[in-house]
Amino acid sequence: MIFILSLASVSFAQNSGKKYFITGQVLDVNSNHVSGATVLVDNKSTDIVTDEKENYKVMVKPDAQMLSVFTLSGGLINEEIKGRVVIILNLKRQYLKR
């Protein structure tokens, strides 16, 4: 019941034009921590970087489309938001090749 209510409140916030938070983690191909990764929303800087436990929390507008993460070792990866409030980003092998 609580889960359903929390989903309803997130949906309401997104539909009401209010900003909301997206949280998640950035993991490498071995599911190791990726701290210090820069988080972007719709290719714009947010001044948010992942912490020492690979977590991030970024506020977005309801019309935001793309969440991106940039790392020196993995380059830039993009993920469509699609209304989600939790997004786990995994650096894929193709991003780690040089």
Q: Would you tell me how many other CB atoms lie within 10 Å of the CB of residue 22?
A: 19
pTM, full prediction = 0.73
Listed in sequence order, the residues at least 6 apart from 85 whose beta carbon sits closer than 8 Å to its beta carbon are: 10, 20, 21, 22, 23
pLDDT tens, N- to C-terminus, the chain (98 residues)? 444 444 444 554 455 689 999 999 998 888 887 889 999 999 999 999 999 888 999 999 999 999 999 988 778 889 999 999 999 988 874 444 44
Q: Residue 76's pLDDT is what?
A: 87
| Cα 51 to Cα 1: distance, rounded to the nearest angstrom | 32
The domain segmentation of the chain, as residue ranges, is 2-96
Task: Please state which CATH number belongs to domain 2-96.
Answer: 2.60.40.1120
Q: Residue 97's pLDDT is what?
A: 43
